[in-house]
Structure formats: C-alpha cells, structure tokens
Amino acid sequence: MSVRSFFFSALAFGIALAGCSGSTHLPQTGGIVLDTPKSVSPASVAPAPMAHTAILPASVMAVKPQSTILDPTWTQLPGAGIFAAADPYGTLWVLSSQPSGPDKYIWHYANGAWTNISGLASRLAVSPADGTLYALNSGGGTYHYSNGVWTALGGGATDISVAVDGSFYVLSNGNSAGSDQAIWHFANGFWNQVPGSGVKIAAPLDIQSYTLSSGAISGFGLYILNSIGSIYYENSNNSFVQLPGSASAVAPTTNGGVFVLGYPSSSSGNSPYYFDLSAPGWTLLSGLGVSISADSTHLYAIGSTGAIYVSPITRTTGTIAEYSLPTTTWADHSVSSPRAESLAAGPDGNLWFTEGERYASTCSNHIGKITTGGAVTEYLLPNVNADPCVIATGSDGNLWFAEFNQNKIGKISTGGTGVSEYPIPTANACSCFIAGGPDGNVWFTETNSNKIGRITTSGTITEFVIPTANALPGGLVAGPDGNVWFTEESSRKIGKITPSGTISEYPLPSTSTGTPLEITAGPDGNLWFTENVLYYYSNIGKITTAGAITEYGVPTANAQPFGIAAGADGNLWFAENGSNKVGRITTSGSFAEYPLPNGDSQPREITAGTDGKVWFTEWNANVGDAFRIGKITP
C-alpha cells in the first residue's frame, strides 16, 4: 500500500490491535492553545528515585496476547507491553504490562530475544545519535541509562524525547497535573526553558526542511501535542507551525513524515494516521493502537491487549543514486576527468549530457550518454575546446547543443555519429542555453549579443533582438501556450517569444531582489523558474502565461537554486547548488529538500528521465574523485 512518500509493506495496520472498539475519529483541528507557563528548572526538582528491580528471565516475555492479523506482512513479536520506543539500530525498548501500578518493567528486544534491565518507568526515549536510553518514572524523575547505571538528570517530568544531536526535551511542571506543561531542553549540561507547552512531545528524526501552508518546518525542532490534541512543530528559532488535525500520540520518521494516533485518547486504542510533510495531507490507516514508535526502517505498534507488532518501512521518495563519470585518454592524447554540464532525456530512453571543464587545461569537446542503469559512453566532437553547454532533444530525434567557445550550434544522433555544427551568425554570441521549441525548431539564447536564436532542424538560423538592452538572456523552454519562454538575468525579467519572433517581457515584482536563471514548463500550465542573486537570494518563481508572477522562498538559506524541471510525480524539482541538496516544490508551493550523499557536490542542472526518475549533474568532486551524475526517485 502506497502512502505518498513511503511504501509500507504492511500498512493495513489491520492487525486488530485492540479489537473493534475504541476511538476512530478523524483528526480534527483544534484551537491554537500554546502558552508558555511559569516553571522552575527540572534541575531544581528532586527526582523520584529509580526503583531497583531484580533481573527477570526472558521467559516472562514469552507470551503473545491474542490478536487477529489481517495482513500477513505484519509480524507479531513475543511479549506484552504498554509503550514502545524504537532505537536507531533496529532494536526496540518496551515497557511491559507488569507489574501493577504506573511504573513498568523495562525490556530490550534485539536479535529476536528479550533482555530485562533493572528499573521501573512510565515513559522511555532513545537517542537517535547513539542509542542511549532515557526514562521517566511516575514520580517525574528523569534518568539516563549507561553500563547498568541510572543517572538522575532532573525531576517533575511527564514526557521525554531525545533529539538527533543527543540533547533531549522534557515536559516538566508549570501547570496542574494532566494539563499542558512547560517545555525544557537539556543540552551541554544545562537546562533551558523553551516557549510553548504540551502534554506530549517528540523530537524529529528527519532534519530536512518542508513548507506547509501554515509555515516552514526545519530540522532540530520539536513536535508538541497540547491538551486539546492540537499538533504543533516548534522550530529551533522558536517559531511555531500548526499541523492540521489532532492527535493523542506522535511518532516521527526519518523520511519526511510523521505517524500519529487519533484524538481523544481511548483505552481501547486509536486509529493511526500518517502525515506526509513533503506532500502535505493525512492518510488514515486501519486498526487501533495505544502506542506507536518508528525508526528509519520499522513501524512498531502496541494494541490494548498488549500485543506488539512490527512492519517494515521502505523509503521511496528521495532515494538518491550516483554514477561516477570515467576518466578517459583520447586519440588526441587528451585526458578527460569531465564533469557533466547539462543533461537531457533522449528519444532513445537514455540521458545525454555535455561535458564541461576538465582537470586538464583545456575545455571539453565531448558529448556523453548514460543509460538509466548508469553505463556511460562518450563521443568526441570535431572541435577542440568546443565547450558544449546545454543539451536538448530536437523534434528530429537528434540531440542539440550549444558550443560556447566555438560560437556554434551542434547536433548529434542517438547513435553517437553524424555530428553536425552550424555557426551562429553573430560573432561572440556566447550561447549556452538551448531547448526544443513548440514549432518543431530548436531555440537558444545569446547572452552576449542579447538575442534569441532559432535554428531549423536543417540548420537555418534566425536571430531576434531582445527589446531590453543587456538583458543577459538565460534559460528557455517551450511553453504550454505555443510560445518560447526565457529568463533575463540582468534585467530581472521573464521573456516570451512567439514562433514568429514577437517578444514580450514581464518584470519580477518590485519587492523581489532575485535574478531569474532557468525555467521550465510546469504540470499546472504555468512556467516555473529559479532565482538567486549573488548566489544568496533563493526563490522559486511561477509565472502564468498571462504574466502574473508568484515567488516562493526556498527553506534553506543560500540554497542557490539553478536547474529546474517538472518530474513525473507532478511536482517541480530543482538543484540547490549552494546547499548540496535537490529540492522539490509542489504546484501549491510546498517544499521538500533532499541532501546529497557526498558533501559539496554542487548539483547544478536537472531533468526528468524516461525512467520516471529525476536526474541531475554534480559540478564538484573532491580531489581524486570522479565527477558524478545523480538521480533521485520522485
């Protein structure tokens, strides 16, 4: 069953976690109730002592409370519990259903076996950074566990969660029992109160940034549930974003979403829901649960009978693969360690790319081809230092490219032979960007000569002067209206040219300080473009075919978006050259960002492949490493 960004092989959740009674209400949006109560530091509250209990044998957990499993891909674990806390190493901590009273035995499940540790607790939390166990007892004592020893950290707490950096948060005093409590953060040996209050908290496992209609979510924050079930996210700058709906429990994932249990809480269990941060919306899952927890690969659930279940979570959206480009010695004795400048989906199902700078002293004169499986072939161009720039597919089934240094437009067949080159009439035109047009011709921009060029598939070139002087035309694309749209970097405008050569220009909003760079046609009938200025100002812009412009700020500062393309998923994807990420924006303006595996790869150009993936070039590589082409799953 697909739930947007994930495939949950067992998300029927129809394991009858608690039978057929209990709360199944859909999440409801509560009021904005999130005050910051007066509170004293947990350090000044005496912690209730941690109980010392005899170590119990594993046979105590050799039980399986009765339950009907409707989906065989769910696995019931042995044991009975009331609360689950996943750790980053694929194991599970559980509070068992014994003894009577609010504090329960603490058990660890690893490699198919249960191990008991001394102590009793009412809440557990595990550090995503190193797997350290934290616990609260019903008296509010806050402890961490290491080498068989419990160490007190404070008192008065009612909930706890550990962040990815190893710091942790608790809810502690400030209001009457059962109501919203103050939020305290423990980091570097010190307690600090942070704004807000709640009854449940959960630190995110995902440090990516997302944009919801109610605001931006960044990493290193905190999910908060208050006493009326409202769901908030507090960013590290103490700004708040409210998620739609209500919940009684929350379990973040590492991959762009969060699980919750419905509201109000019921002893018979609550329906589970999944909220996708990258494509905001709730998905109702079947079944009922009293506790949920997730790590990067597993979803755990406990039903009201105490039955414990696990189901795998497999990430799909945002999965990145990279392919190294080969180092080649050519017949002319040149040694290329190329980087892919630009790439385009070819009519043969492969990705075609231009090769730019080498480590050698000359520019490249090669065109490359990469299959969707990552096999690379390179083809030599006739002219040394051709410096091919952007590449595009023509209506004739060939690949067309601009030769920046040779002042020519070139084409190459999908067989890699039959290279043809056509001189641009204007000297030193500095052509880089090129695109197939809606009229069957190929169009290109002339940055230095301030013109738009058109070349027929037989090689006839016509040039059109842009009305605004020194506009610095950049990226261009065929629009849904039958015209060609282009960016003007210097004049800060978006241009449109009809097939016959009539040009219209649309300035960016007066409040904008961005420079438009590259542009693509969106699935919504609009044109979408990237903006930055001095490599710092980062926007994604949208312009209707009537010329109305809307801008959306990229969540990551200094992202430096460059290439942009429409993906097979109906969203727009862009390369963040400055932040080493690939970004995605929905047509409604919601963002998701995906860091690349290798530091400072500087993704630059991007396109949709015939395999449904989004492909991109990486403009940087560490010394001794090959340059790479990457792909990401939408």
Give the domain ranges of the chain. Answer: 2-203+222-232+243-315, 327-423
Nearest CA among 208, 209, 157 for reference residue 186:
157
Domain spanning 327-423: CATH 3.30.10.20:
no
Work out whether strand 493-497 and strand 484-488 pair parallel, antiparallel, or are unpaired.
antiparallel
CA dihedral 55, 60, 61, 65 (to 10 degrees): -150
CA separation (Å) from 170 to 45, 194, 256, 374? 13, 10, 24, 48
SS3 annotation, 525-590: CCEEEEECCCCCCCEEEEECCCCCEEEEECCCCCCCEEEEEECCCCCEEEEECCCCEEEEECCCCC
| Cα–Cα dist 557/576, whole Å | 10
pLDDT, tens digit (0-9, with 9 covering 90-100), for 320-338: 889 988 876 555 555 556 7
Nearest CA among 97, 98, 99 for reference residue 307:
97
Across-strand partners of 345?
Answer: 351
First and final CA of the chain: distance in angstroms?
A: 17
What the block records as the tokens of 582 is: 């690939």
Coil, strand or helix: which one is 329?
A: strand
Q: What is the DSSP letter of 405?
A: T
Instruction: Name residue, tokens 């590259």.
Output: 518
Length of the chain (residues): 634
| Cα–Cα dist 77/394, whole Å | 57
| Cα–Cα dist 406/399, whole Å | 17
Type and span of the H or E element at 453: strand 451-455
Residue 88, pLDDT score: 82
Across-strand partners of 269?
Answer: none
| Cα–Cα dist 10/512, whole Å | 47
Pick 2-203+222-232+243-315's CATH classification: 2.120.10, 3.40.50, 3.40.190, 2.40.30: 2.120.10
| Cα–Cα dist 539/522, whole Å | 16
Residue 13, pLDDT score: 34
| Cα–Cα dist 372/611, whole Å | 7
Work out whether strand 549-553 and strand 17-20 pair parallel, antiparallel, or are unpaired.
unpaired
Instruction: Name residue, tokens 């500095």.
Output: 430
Type and span of the H or E element at 93: strand 92-96
Q: What is the DSSP letter of 357?
A: -
DSSP per position, 157-187:
EEEEEE-TTS-EEEEESSS-TTS-EEEEEEE
Yes or no: say if 287 and 590 are a contact pair by the CB < 8 Å rule.
no
What does the angle CA 545 – CA 547 – CA 550 come to, to the nearest 5 degrees? 105
Residue numbers in the chain where pLDDT is lower than 50? 1-33, 69-70, 358-361
